[in-house]
């Protein structure tokens, strides 16, 4: 079956601005595509987060949302679905993934300077570890940073480095291990079940809690089914459950595989931890039966979590992203291989070798792609990594990416063909693409609000 496993019931017009207008909009935005208006973007691949198209069943569920402050029926229905999918007895609602991080990470980091290890922490996770006084450490496998060499599970955590870290620093110095499935930072790359089992075994032996950052738990399960020996033909729900069963808890941004536009969850197994987390949810997010979501959001999420595990949907979803990657490779654009679950990660460092990391090749390519064809992608590289809070030094990313994240059920293959053709044109004139200098650097999460000028003064 080549076609999408859905038909389209509602459409939203989009338009492509002329070249001169695109340049004017980009300059107004300080060359930072985060600061563009979405109406000025033709195909928006900034993020797959909260940009999902909901199904007719989800829209129908919205109307049934119970907006009660306490004891909402929609909450109890969602809680039941989450328990069934994940097996976690304790479920807390939050408004989105970083809400989960704000609630849970300070409860895990017991004292200043404790390490939080992970395969590759996402930027907001890293920020919340920093804010909680912890020290984030990424232990991705060496293949993750080598975009040209395919490896089926570039999201894996390097278990040898994990054991060595625990031996060197002692388990007491480690607050938790967070396994991010799929690993967004290294290219939407999956974590194998084998690796997750090994990480869980090491954590259990050391007495260190293991958490999942499970924003893309369904896409990870699908890629495990496709790539891991012994997993072919298993249901994505069963594979996802195997991952949840290994962990002590999970943070979930529901804006990805929840197939909704807002929402999140904190999950745990230990009642004592739940009792520590619950008042934090009430203080920061809202009462325990809504946590920053409207009753209708809870209802739509309950449906979305189940739809995300449908094999026909996942085959379409992962297949569409992979097609975009194949078109780019045909055009000679270097990308992280193999293509992961939610996005194609263009290796801007390899495409633009004349631009050093400190001139942000990923962000420079994002600006150029918008100029070329009105498409918005986003840098995932040294700009996003920010600075070490102790030394003030810029942190070096594993690779300098331009991420093209594909919203779920939103764009057709024709849209993505326009993206591939536009980027191929930029690639043909890559040597002329200029690096960026920051003219404004915010103190934290700088990539969202930073402003730039082109390195070449004649153009900036
Ligand atoms: C792996 C991962 N963790 C956490 C988050 C944060 O979630 P949110 O944007 O819902 O706050 C994201 C968001 O993109 C993510 O990709």
Tokens describing residue 328: 């780019």
pLDDT per position as a tens digit, 180-236:
999 998 889 999 999 999 999 999 999 999 999 999 999 999 999 999 999 999 999
Contact criterion met (CB below 8 Å) for 67 and 273: no
High-pLDDT (> 70) share of the chain, %: 99
- Cα–ligand 1 centroid distance for 122 (angstroms): 7
Q: Does residue 105 register a pLDDT over 70?
A: yes
Any idea what the CATH number is for the domain that residue 25 is in? 3.90.1150.10
Question: By residue range, what is the domain housing residue 172?
Answer: 56-307
What is the rounded distance in angstroms from the CA atom of residue 47 to the CA atom of residue 33? 12
Residue 213 designated active-site: yes
| Within-domain flag for 421 | yes
Q: Select from 275, 307, 339 the last residue of a domain.
A: 307
| 139 and 246 assigned to the same domain | yes
| 386 and 247 assigned to the same domain | no
Q: State phi, psi for 86 to the nearest 5 degrees.
A: -100, -25
Any idea what the CATH number is for the domain that residue 239 is in? 3.40.640.10
What is the rounded distance in angstroms from the CA atom of residue 292 to the CA atom of residue 296? 12
Give the pLDDT of residue 112: 96
Catalytic residue (one of 256, 302, 316, 399): 256
| 287 and 351 assigned to the same domain | no
- Mean pLDDT (the chain, rounded): 96
Give the pLDDT of residue 389: 79
Mean pLDDT of all residues in 73-89? 98
Pocket perturbation via mutation, ligand 1, pick of 215, 217, 220 by most ligand atoms within 8 A of CB: 215
Residue 256 designated active-site: yes
| 247 and 355 assigned to the same domain | no
| Within-domain flag for 396 | yes
| Within-domain flag for 8 | no
| 152 and 107 assigned to the same domain | yes
Catalytic residue (one of 40, 123, 130, 248): 123
Pocket perturbation via mutation, ligand 1, pick of 48, 52, 122 by most ligand atoms within 8 A of CB: 122
| 348 and 301 assigned to the same domain | no
The total number of structural domains that make up the chain: 2
| Within-domain flag for 164 | yes
| 405 and 320 assigned to the same domain | yes
pLDDT per position as a tens digit, 249-279:
999 999 999 999 999 999 999 999 999 999 9
Catalytic residue (one of 102, 121, 128, 447): 447
Give the pLDDT of residue 148: 86
| Within-domain flag for 268 | yes
Q: Does residue 444 register a pLDDT over 90?
A: no
| 154 and 141 assigned to the same domain | yes
Q: Select from 307, 338, 370 the last residue of a domain.
A: 307
Please state the pTM of the whole predicted model.
0.95
Catalytic residue (one of 100, 132, 215, 302): 215
User: Using omega within 30 degrees of 0 as the cis cutoff, is the peptide bond preceding 40 cis?
Assistant: no
| 285 and 347 assigned to the same domain | no
Residue 140 designated active-site: no
pLDDT per position as a tens digit, 361-407:
999 999 999 999 999 999 999 999 889 878 999 988 888 999 999 99
| 241 and 366 assigned to the same domain | no
Q: Does residue 460 register a pLDDT over 90?
A: no
| 220 and 303 assigned to the same domain | yes
| Within-domain flag for 79 | yes
| Within-domain flag for 94 | yes
Task: Enumerate residues lining ligand 1, CB below 6 A.
Answer: 49, 96-98, 122, 124-125, 180, 184, 213, 215, 253, 255, 264
Mean pLDDT of all residues in 302-311? 98
| 114 and 235 assigned to the same domain | yes
Give the pLDDT of residue 288: 98
Q: Does residue 458 register a pLDDT over 50?
A: no
Give the pLDDT of residue 459: 47
Q: Select from 281, 307, 333 the last residue of a domain.
A: 307
Out of 22-26, 186-190, 200-204, 292-296, pick the least confident.
Answer: 186-190
| Within-domain flag for 2 | no
Q: Which residue has the tokens 């090491």?
A: 202
Out of 148-152, 191-195, 328-332, pick the least confident.
Answer: 148-152
């Amino acid at each position: 079956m080549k076609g999408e496993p859905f038909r389209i019931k509602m459409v939203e017009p989009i338009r492509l601005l002329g070249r001169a207008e695109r340049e004017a909009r980009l300059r107004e935005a300080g060359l930072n595509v985060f600061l563009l208006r979405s109406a000025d973007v033709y195909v928006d691949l900034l993020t797959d987060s909260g940009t999902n198209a909901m199904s007719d069943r989800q829209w129908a569920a919205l109307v049934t949302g119970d907006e009660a402050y306490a004891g909402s029926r929609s909450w109890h229905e969602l809680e039941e679905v989450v328990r069934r999918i994940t097996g976690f007895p304790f479920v807390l609602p939050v408004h989105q993934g970083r809400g989960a991080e704000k609630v849970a990470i300070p409860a895990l980091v017991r004292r200043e300077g404790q390490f939080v290890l992970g395969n590759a922490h996402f930027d907001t996770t890293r920020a919340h570890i920093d804010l909680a006084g912890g020290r984030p450490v990424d232990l991705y496998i060496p293949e993750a940073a080598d975009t040209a060499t395919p490896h089926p599970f570039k999201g894996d955590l390097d278990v040898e480095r994990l054991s060595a870290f625990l031996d060197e620093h002692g388990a007491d110095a480690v607050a938790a291990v967070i396994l991010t499935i799929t690993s967004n930072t290294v290219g939407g790359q999956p974590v194998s079940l084998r690796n997750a089992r090994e990480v869980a075994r090491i954590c259990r032996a050391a007495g260190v809690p293991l958490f999942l950052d499970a924003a893309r738990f369904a896409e990870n399960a699908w890629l495990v089914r496709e790539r891991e020996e012994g997993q072919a033909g298993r249901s994505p729900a069963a594979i996802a459950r195997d991952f949840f069963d290994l962990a002590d808890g999970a943070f979930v941004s529901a804006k990805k595989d929840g197939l909704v536009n807002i929402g999140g969850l904190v999950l745990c197994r230990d009642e004592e931890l739940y009792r520590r987390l619950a008042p934090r949810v009430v203080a920061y997010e809202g009462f325990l039966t809504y946590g920053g979501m409207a009753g209708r959001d809870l209802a739509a999420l309950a449906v979305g979590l189940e739809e995300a595990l449908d094999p026909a949907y996942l085959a379409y979803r992962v297949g569409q992203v992979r097609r975009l990657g194949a078109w780019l490779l045909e055009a000679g654009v270097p990308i992280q291989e193999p293509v992961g679950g939610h996005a194609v990660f263009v290796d801007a460092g390899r495409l633009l070798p004349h631009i050093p990391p400190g001139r942000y090749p990923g962000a420079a390519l994002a600006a150029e792609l918008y100029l070329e064809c009105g498409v918005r992608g986003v840098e995932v590289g040294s700009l996003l990594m920010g600075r070490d809070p102790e030394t003030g030094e810029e942190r070096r990313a594993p690779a300098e990416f331009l991420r093209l994240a594909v919203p779920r059920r939103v764009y057709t293959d024709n849209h993505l063909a326009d993206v591939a053709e536009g980027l191929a044109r930029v690639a043909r004139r890559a040597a002329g693409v200029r690096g960026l200098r920051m003219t404004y650097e915010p103190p934290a999460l700088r990539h969202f609000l930073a402003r730039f000028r082109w390195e070449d003064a004649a153009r900036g």
